[in-house]
Every structure is written in C-alpha cells, then in structure tokens.
Structure 1
Amino acid sequence: MNSVTLAYGLLSLAIISEVIGSTFLVKSEGFTKLAPSLAVAVLFCLAFYLLSQVIKVIPLGIAYAIWAGVGIVLTALIGYFIFRQSLDLPAMLGIGLIVSGVVVINLFSTSAGH
C-alpha cells in the first residue's frame, strides 16, 4: 500500500473519530456527563493524532479542507437523522457547496497528492 493511500485511510479514520466525538458532545450535555465527556476527549485526541499523521503526506490545507468539509456534512446528517435537528434550505445549499468543494479538491487538485 502506498503512502498516499494510507494517508487517505488515516484521514477517513480521523474524520470518523471527529464526527463520533462531535456526536458525543451532544450527549455530554455541556461536559456535565462523565462518560460522554471522556469519549469526546479520547475521540478528538485520536482525530487530531490521525490528522497529524496525514499531513506528513497530504498538504495541511488539503487534508484539513477534506477533514473539516466531510466532518461538517456527516455531523449535519447525524444531527438531522439521529437528533432530529432541522436543516433549512440555506443549510442544505451550504452543505451542497461543501460537498462540491471536497469533490473539486479530490478530482482536480494536483496539490492533493494523488
């Protein structure tokens, strides 16, 4: 497995860790519940550690844009489907633009390292 493929795998794990950590933020109720608060801390530390490994191969701006963009979309979807939080038209349009940006980076950018 080449280093770019491994980096994208680690980036995927970083995104998943961050999204699950963000989900536990809701469950922590402002860090007043111990177990969800600990889960937030562990998952965010894992996400940042993985991201630190990714940027050894993929430029920081590209890796962070993908991490943040995909994380925002997945977190919004979890909010909508799991926590029944509504998304209005401007929110959905914004999410669509984020997805478009991530697609453009991955398909057309030579900076992304693929």
Structure 2
Amino acid sequence: MIKILHNNRCSKSRCGVEFLEASGKPFEIVKYLDETLSAKELKDIIKLLKIKPIDLVRKNEAIWKTEFKNKTLSDDEIVDAMVKNPKLIERPIVINGNKAVIGRPTEKISEII
C-alpha cells in the first residue's frame, strides 16, 4: 500500500494527499508528527529515497538553525535529530513498496505510483 508521511499544516503535504486522492489508488496517511518514526524507520526511508540524511533535513526550521546549524554531525546524529524533532523532516514523503520520493514538486509522486 502507498503511504504518505504527512503534516496537515504544510501546504505541499496537503497537495500530496490531494494528488494521491486524485490518482484513485488506495493509500495510508502517516501523521509523522503524531506517530514519531524510529531511527530504524527513518534510516529505511532514507535508503529508499537514495539520499543522505542531511538531504532530508528542513534546514530553515528554527530548531535546526539554533541547535544544529554549523555543527559537524554524523549521519546517525542527523537521524537522531530528526527522530527527536520530526518537524525537521522534509515533507511530504510518499512510499510505494521499495520506492519513495519527496513530493516536491507534487508531480514527483507520479514517478512511484
């Protein structure tokens, strides 16, 4: 089943949900701010996305700027920062089996559904 990691306060995330609804395919919404991801789950998603952990970080978030910017962090430390502060995770993330994309722009979702 298709999953979307979703934050309802984010317009791009809401657009991702609308895109999936329009596709007519069944999907599950994961409210990752409420259902916190484990480090293993986040690492698995990063692997599916084929990116480095730092590429999943929202670097304009205040928490990143005040707590982490200009620090030398390992991949595990970056993952831990996102687990403890899920607002740092880029969104929306759409997962379909062994494929995943960050839905920015929204049309990227069509690559995996």
Same fold (TM over 0.5): no
Q: Select the structure that is richer in strand.
A: 2
Report which structure shows greater RCO (CA 8 Å, sep ≥6): 2
**What interval of TM-score do these two structures reach, taking the shorter chain for normalisation?**
under 0.3
TM-score, normalised by the number of residues in structure 2: 0.27
| Larger Rg computed on CA atoms | 1
